[in-house]
Chains A and B, each alone.
Chain A
């Protein structure tokens, strides 16, 4: 408790060393080193505080199981008592005090030599003064109690009083600004820069200025990362230049490639309705189709991923612009350590595809349009609900020559089912029964387990989560874990074709996630998750219910998450939109 209190005190004191003479307002970047590595600017803290302390949010948080569980912790209630005392002393509530103390903005920077600094601009110099005096008094009393009365120290530098209340903290107030550093020398350097004697500042950096221009103007918070400097770190350089996992490479190569070509990252966080939007921009673009990881390069300006498909009870969807043929053809360059595993994989695929070459005769038959859909299932009443309940998932691809590739895909699929049935038969487990029904105009293949309700009334077997299906409407190819999802996708693709949907220009990845649907599947599996939590964490049932309930609450509040990544105005851009639902 003492340690957390001391940290709070350091921050709070940081928020208030006594103001000296008024200074003309210079931008925070002029206090920072030109070679700052990471800079976070919260330009509108009051807007953030207003949202964070709104009645809805406070009510939702205080009624959440996590909060209720934390309230049983004496350290938390002790902390809240300190906050209450603080509010009474200043005759105001915490959000108002914080709003006045930080209303001009907060800037946090990580600089070379492990130095971290923060600049806070207050709206009310008198309040800043009062709070600082109050907290200094508390710090002195604490130091006295710990038999360390000399812990709180002060010194003058360039006419400014600097304070220390902990070994890794130094702060001062200049005008209505508070400056804090984790090293006293860094505090002096900041004052030197203000006196124009500290060399170049971040405000002079062309890289910083360029990144700032790229950030969304509506942002309430901005982040700048000097990628050129960070790429000197061997770990980061290695991570950007090596691929360990083929799936991760397939998903993230275009983003990692852009970072490899970039000098900076600029991020902006802005409120959008009830949600927030995060935009990440870099100055580099990776669009070389000849590169080993150039399998997401656009051939022309109109190329891009198709919009995500929408089906009933959809949890998530992903649309990727990826040339699978180019990806797999580059496997030896991308994953040299995985050659033997990939050869085994290819040999296996040779069984299903009747000896065809996986690269040239299978993957070359697909277009760079890969979509994945995940949706909650409905279960057959004759079977009951299995435990656990898995969502249905499907992959949708497009064929270059459907007439040629359809029988090849159908044969491979039926061979795979045969292998599954044979293996299950060896273990005396029920097998899949193959069927060829029709949905709309599409005749498709599916396989399901014969219904068998457990005699003892317990949940249905986990196998009833699966009824795999292969459907090939038009030029599309759908592999689905459930028959129901395959049919929904046939409908969704028909709608897309009828609407003559166009690709999302220059977008290589698009993801959408529905929080309430995700919460729904969590609710369906609640009991299993609670039990898992109990043995995994050693929690009591009540604690486990609290944790899972908290997770459910968060997912319920997360209405929709969308992400798109691609090239905009010559910059690589990743945009994330998070819509939240006001708690009911």
Chain B
């Protein structure tokens, strides 16, 4: 029986929340196979090397997830010392993206970077609006620091982050003329989502942010400009200050629901809207603690994560697409040109298009961006050009015992897609491999890798 059918049969419809969020334990019906290992590394990291896939296969799901969500102190220390601050703070064009991409590739803690990337889209702050490399670097550091911590603390930190105010065109808010951009974003996109609070709530909340100015890169408070009067926000009355607004808005049940939904789209599926009942246990728990790490861990360990409801139900973002190739090739690529190339296919790190972040999903793919993705993959695997032959398909295939055309095609299919493609595609790969007539040189290894990347399933996470 095909693997898809087994998993499909094991996903109850409608999905029972108790089953969905229970820990996934492999059994005779749902074995721990390369398919699920690849799925886990695509969602919780940026892909994996062949060795990582094999190690995870041996270790089992829960031990592998332990390594992803709770890296050892040594690993965490190694990550903290990557030392990219000086460059990102210089504010040079492309430096932030280049160093972040490099960190994503090198870090032993990829889940943190994956969630920092999620928050980057969530907050939607763009260097083009902040216009200060140092502040933007600090903003991303803040996202990284709280990526798997408390969302409450993250929001409080954001309310003290100059880049947030600049990025939302809210660098000055006076008592006589409150700037409501920050409050609008806080009560909308950052917490409850659109349409929950009314315009009056936003205007009242904006009064709490009066007195805050960004001057020469510092966030400063002027008492005389602060509106000390009573404000009514979401039916709560008081002489509120920014931290009170954060508290009040997080106390609203819709905030937890909105964030859980967003993370569900990020980690589980962006195809179907989940039922309220399915998310309820997670929302209830998240509303108590706002512990992102716990929420993420619950999702990653769940039956639902390792089911057809989640499998290949996201389109890879350009960052995931490119880094997935590089991770499989076990090498660092030049990330300065990569950052520019990713911008050309729709994802400029450090510059989300709007404060809503990147729309994602099917918006990632258009005829132009798809062509761009394939051209980028070809360039990354090329021995010449901007990527200077850093990714060597031939040496990776040979290293893992696949020296011939047929074996190499199979290897790349297993490495990136875990062999989970239709029989006709497998046959096509084999025929193309058989037709590789020139054994001299490594060009056909590259062709084999490119053929796998061109398979539609490669675009899915």
Contact = CB atoms under 8 A, between A and B. Distances in A.
B90 A535 contact: no
A462 B90 contact: yes
A528 B83 CA distance: 12
Nearest to A427: B131
Contacts of B334: 535-538
B336 interface: yes
A144 interface: no
Contacts of A68: none
Interface in B77-103: 84, 86-87, 89-90, 95, 98-99, 102
Nearest to A459: B86
B378 to A, nearest CB: 17
A537 B335 CA distance: 8
A528 B89 CA distance: 12
Nearest to B440: A2
25 contacts: A387-B86, A387-B90, A428-B216, A428-B217, A430-B216, A458-B86, A458-B89, A528-B90, A532-B87, A532-B336, A534-B102, A535-B87, A535-B98, A535-B99, A535-B102, A535-B334, A536-B337, A538-B331, A538-B332, A538-B333, A538-B334, A538-B335, A538-B387, A538-B388, A539-B332
A531 interface: yes
B86 A538 contact: no
B106 to A, nearest CB: 9
Contacts of A537: 334, 388, 390
Interface in A528-553: 528, 531-532, 534-540
Contacts of A496: none
A387 B336 CA distance: 19
Contacts of B335: 535, 538
Interface in A514-530: 527-528
Interface residues of B, number: 23
Nearest to A539: B332
B215 interface: yes
Contacts of B337: 536
Interface string B410-444: 00000000000000000000000000000000000
B137 to A, nearest CB: 11
Interface in A413-432: 427-430
A540 B337 CA distance: 16
Nearest to A534: B102
Q: Which A-B residue pairs are the 3 nearest by beta carbons?
A: A538-B334, A535-B98, A535-B336
Nearest to B391: A538
B89 A536 contact: no
B379 to A, nearest CB: 13
Nearest to A388: B90
Interface string B130-170: 01000000000000000000000000000000000000000
Interface string B99-111: 1001000000000
Given A428-B215, A462-B90, A535 B390 contact: no
B40 to A, nearest CB: 26
A538 B98 contact: no
A2 to B, nearest CB: 9
Contact of A531 (B86, B216, B333, B388): B86
Interface string A539-581: 1100000000000000000000000000000000000000000
Interface string B316-336: 000000000000000111111
A535 B215 CA distance: 32
Contacts of B336: 532, 535-536
Q: Which of A388, A534, A540 has the most CB of B within 10 A?
A: A534
Given A428-B216, A429-B216, A528-B90, 13 more contacts: A387-B86, A427-B131, A458-B89, A528-B87, A535-B99, A535-B102, A535-B336, A536-B334, A536-B337, A537-B334, A538-B331, A538-B332, A538-B388
B255 to A, nearest CB: 34
Interface in B373-401: 387-388, 390
A538 B390 contact: yes
Contacts of A539: 332
Contacts of B217: 428
A527 B86 contact: yes
Q: Which of A459, A462, A535 has the most CB of B within 10 A?
A: A535
A429 B215 CA distance: 10
Contacts of A538: 331-335, 387-388, 390
Contacts of A532: 87, 336
A527 B85 CA distance: 12
Q: Which of B333, B336, B387 has the most CB of A within 10 A?
A: B336
B80 to A, nearest CB: 16
A477 B322 CA distance: 54
Contacts of B99: 535
A183 B110 CA distance: 57
Contacts of A528: 86-87, 90
A535 B95 contact: yes
A538 B89 CA distance: 20
A532 B336 CA distance: 9
A5 to B, nearest CB: 14
Contacts of A535: 87, 95, 98-99, 102, 334-336
Contacts of A531: 84, 86-87
Contacts of A430: 216
A430 to B, nearest CB: 8
B348 to A, nearest CB: 16
A538 B341 CA distance: 15
A88 to B, nearest CB: 30
A456 to B, nearest CB: 10
A535 B102 CA distance: 7
Nearest to B88: A531
A429 B131 CA distance: 11
B391 to A, nearest CB: 9
A536 B131 CA distance: 23
Contacts of B98: 535
A156 to B, nearest CB: 33
A165 B336 CA distance: 44
Interface in A387-438: 387-388, 427-430
A427 B387 CA distance: 36
A459 B331 CA distance: 32
Contacts of B388: 537-538
B144 to A, nearest CB: 18
A527 B334 CA distance: 18
Contacts of A428: 215-217
Given A428-B215, A428-B216, A540 B90 contact: no
A536 B99 CA distance: 10
A528 B91 CA distance: 13
Interface in A4-29: none
Contacts of B90: 387-388, 462, 528
A459 B216 CA distance: 18
Contacts of A429: 216
B119 to A, nearest CB: 23
Nearest to B389: A538
A536 B98 CA distance: 8
Contacts of B390: 537-538
Interface string B191-232: 000000000000000000000000111000000000000000
Interface string A437-463: 000000000000000000000110010
Nearest to A2: B440
A536 B336 CA distance: 5
A539 B98 CA distance: 13
Interface in A136-173: none
Nearest to B105: A538
A462 B99 CA distance: 20
A535 B386 CA distance: 11
Nearest to B388: A537
Contacts of B102: 534-535
Contacts of B333: 538
Contacts of B87: 528, 531-532, 535
A166 B243 CA distance: 78
Interface in B330-365: 331-337
